[in-house]
Structure 1
Amino acid sequence: MSVQRPTTRDRALPTELESPRAKLVYLYLRTAAASLDDLESDLELKKITLYSILRTLRERDLVEKRDGEFAVLE
């Protein structure tokens, strides 16, 4: 008996992400947009760390800020 999985597009992490924390934030935002406060509480990262990570993700055109929330660019 074989298991069939739904076909989805490639969901690999961008190769330019090296930091484990940046990967964590990116993967979190891939599920849904989130505010800075949401990221801080759910991922247990300090805001100062998140500011740096989000700045890098935005500079690399991986994440955008919309209506006070961050989301992955598709």
Structure 2
Amino acid sequence: MSIQQSAAIAKPQTLPEDITSPRAKLVYLYLDVTEVATVEDLQGCLDMKKIDLLSVLNSLTSAGHVESDDGTYAVTA
């Protein structure tokens, strides 16, 4: 199944209200739909620079919305 197919099937949860940055929303929703991704996955699919992604992921992790495990990121349950 391709990413496009899984994105069409999966339905994202409600976006937390305290996520206001468009980039943070994009990353959060991508992780919510795909369930888990690496920085490289995010870079390739979202066409964002690594430095920007790391900043967004750090903010989302600090806020408790995303967790990191062995180089992968996922939305917290």
In the alignment, does 2:62 pair up with 1:59? yes
Shift of 1:66: 1.4
Unaligned runs of 5+ in 1: 1-9
- Per-residue CA deviation, residues 6-65 of structure 1 (Å, 9 max, x unaligned), is xxxx92100000011100000000022000000001000000100110000000000001
**Corresponding position of 2:19:** 17
- TM-score, normalization: structure 2? 0.80
**Corresponding position of 2:36:** 33
- TM-score, normalization: structure 1? 0.83
Give the structure with the larger helix fraction: 2
Quick one: distance in 1 between partners of 2:57 and 2:14?
19
Unaligned runs of 5+ in 2: 1-11
Aligned-partner SS, 2:14: coil
Q: Cα RMSD over matched residues?
A: 1.3
Which structure would you say has the larger Rg?
A: 1
What number of residue pairs does the alignment pair up? Answer: 65
Large movers: runs of 4+ above 4 Å:
none
In the alignment, does 2:75 pair up with 1:72? yes
Once the two structures are aligned, what percentage of the paired residues are identical? 46
